[in-house]
Amino acid sequence: MNRREEQALSNAVMNYLAIKGILHYRVRNSGTIIHRPGGGIAYGRDRYAVTQRGTPDILAWDNGKAFAFELKSSKGRVRPEQEEWLSKFRDEGGIGAVVRCLDEVIAIMK
Read off the pLDDT of each residue in 5-25 and give the average, rounded to a whole number: 96
pLDDT of residue 13 exceeding 70: yes
Per-residue confidence (pLDDT) for residue 1, from 0 to 100: 43
Compare 89 and 42 and report the one with higher pLDDT. Answer: 89
Give the neighbor-by-neighbor strand order of the sheet with 58-62.
23-26, 58-62, 65-71, 95-99
Amino acid in position 44: G
> Which pLDDT value is given to residue 109?
97
* Lowest pLDDT segment from 14-23, 29-38, 57-66: 29-38
pLDDT at 30: 58
Whether the CB-CB separation of 75 and 2 falls below 8 Å is answered with yes
Strands 32-35 and 58-62: unpaired
* pLDDT tens track for 47-102: 555 567 789 999 999 999 999 999 999 999 999 999 999 999 999 999 999 999 99
pTM over 0.85: no
Q: Which is more confident, 31 or 7? A: 7
The answer, yes or no, to whether residue 43 has pLDDT greater than 80, is no
